[in-house]
Amino acid sequence: MPVERVAAPAFFLDTNVVVYSFSERDSIKREAARALVEADGAWISTQVLSELANVPDGYTFEMAHKS
């Protein structure tokens, strides 16, 4: 029985990219992130999905860097 080959992903997306794709504060980063998320060959790991599920509502990376 022949073995079916599965194409390797072109690239995996990091959690930051997925979070930025929802950004309401930075339209430039949002559009760049959405282009990557929607690109052919983009893969999201279960770890990234788990991390994304644990990002608090309204949280942004800008908030994390404020002093």
Residue 67 predicted with pLDDT over 50: no
Residue 60 predicted with pLDDT over 60: no
pTM of the model as a whole? 0.66
Q: Which one is predicted more confidently, 54 or 66? A: 54
CA–CA separation, 42 vs 62, rounded Å?
25
CA–CA separation, 51 vs 45, rounded Å?
10
What's the pLDDT at 10?
87
CA–CA separation, 16 vs 13, rounded Å?
8
The pLDDT tens digits of the residues spanning 9-35 come to 689 999 999 988 988 888 999 999 999
Residue 62 predicted with pLDDT over 60: no
Q: Where are the domains positioned within the chain?
A: 11-56
Contacts of residue 29, defined as CB under 8 A and 6 or more positions apart, other chains included, come to 20, 23
